[in-house]
Chain A
């Protein structure tokens, strides 16, 4: 950009710069400074590295990090795999496709809290559908899904996978439908069976979309909170189902330790920055046009 066009661009950039400064850069900067404040109260400052030291010694935080990592690395790939299957089935039908697409998208537009209420019933230890099936059909013991440190996180992950299906299915279905049908005709002429067509044609052509869904999914997964809070409630920490955002929430509203909350938020931000960089690299790699 030469000097002149930069000058011309300034008036157009100013509104965006103001909005970004007030709502993004300032809070970010504030949190950054706060995270180095040894005192929990934001009104008194005593800068040091102590908060980070405490943070990494806090087993609750470490559990939260572990839970978040497990949650992200388990739910995102599984959700995408299931979504790909559903999208492939959806695109292969002609009749009622729009109907089923809508059905799959409904969870996305309904409130997580409301849906979690229903899932709470499904997971109920005594009369929940899941335990009924496990017990009556497979003769397995009943599991206190939402009230046990061993299973609460699994329940959250199952719920999380289900919730993220809606968005993934929508995007992947749209992506699949936008693949030129000529390629499938060509694949038929070239003698490709269904599996070969899916893995050698559909998936590579869908790679940019999959990498997009993967990135968005991963970033959302690292920020997981609603699923935990709505399904397990404020006692998630007790049942070892707390996540990083849950930890930040707890520090802010329960313990009122702004410094610790800020430090945890900065760590989360760094993780997400790394993920974003990774996703840029991934989408450059999956861009088959180059």
Chain B
């Protein structure tokens, strides 16, 4: 099922000061193609959950419209939207067994007993919890609870699956395996999925497309590689990628971009201040480049992560391969790989060019 958001807005009254309004979701537009998994990515408090609840129907809109396929569902109640929702903390009913949890939406939909039993077995197989059906949620590990929550969400054959930070309670290893699991389930069922997360690595690996959210607005939507390589603004550039992109206060001078005394590259037709961004892997050793002091070198298997400090005191990160020898407490000179330097408008942070 295709999902379309048109100018959707959700406002809350500020709890402490009712005269103020919090705009949790601010005039957003979105198009999710059929059978795709898209990630809603943004920092804590940017309105991801609110946006997801708006799509689920749990949250009323202040303005705008939501379409599933060609149908306007803006005024529809949650249970009529045919969605499955997995909550941030799973919200499994603690007094029911796993199979009762999965059966609950089916009983409410007045399914026949036999059909319910068959369906429980079926979804349990998909998420691989067949041997856990008689347990209570308290007797399950985080990863198992999470799969039960997905099973409950999938039971009613929803047309859309909404997941609110489903992996945030898991440890790193379990996160990785469960996220592959979710991807597998999504691929086998072909269900259109929106996955909320604040973890950019998670978003990069799991999704067909990423939507990046900042302060209630959708700032960029694109393929994972696209948002990585062509960030729309400073916020996206800084949010995507780990370690994060390095930023410098640069300037246009004599038809070139300068950072300190380092002439980064030729660039004509502009003047004044500019923010220069470069990813750690695009920083490399170069004579006559930016003079920096090596503060810390971390060896991470195949690569070295070096923390450097410029003469003006700015910190930057460089990733080099293991064979490039960089030693702590030495002075070196670095440059930026051509074609990998991002320019942002100094004032607004909008992306200008990549040089």
Contact = CB atoms under 8 A, between A and B. Distances in A.
Interface in B67-92: 78-79, 83-85, 87, 89, 91
A155 B17 CA distance: 49
B136 A288 contact: yes
B312 to A, nearest CB: 49
A191 B136 contact: no
A288 B79 CA distance: 27
A188 B136 contact: no
A196 B105 CA distance: 11
For the residues of A in contact with B, the DSSP-based class is helix
Interface residues of A, number: 21
Nearest to A286: B95
Interface of B: 53, 56, 58, 78-79, 83-85, 87, 89, 91, 93-96, 104-105, 108-109, 136, 138, 152-153, 156
Contacts, number: 60
Given A288-B136, A289-B136, A186 B93 contact: yes
Given A189-B83, A190-B108, A288-B95, A182 B138 contact: no
Given A182-B91, A205-B94, A288-B136, A189 B85 contact: yes
A67 B264 CA distance: 96
9 contacts: A182-B87, A182-B91, A183-B91, A187-B104, A188-B78, A189-B56, A204-B96, A207-B95, A288-B136
Contact of A192 (B56, B58, B96, B108): B108
A189 B160 CA distance: 12
Given A182-B87, A200-B104, A191 B109 contact: yes
A201 B91 CA distance: 12
Given A191-B108, A193-B108, 9 more contacts: A185-B91, A186-B85, A188-B58, A189-B105, A190-B79, A190-B156, A191-B78, A207-B95, A288-B95
Contacts of A196: 108
B108 A201 contact: no
A183 B93 contact: yes
Instruction: With a 10 A CB-CB cut-off, give which of B85, B104, B156 has the most chain A CB atoms.
Output: B104
A61 to B, nearest CB: 43
A189 B78 contact: yes
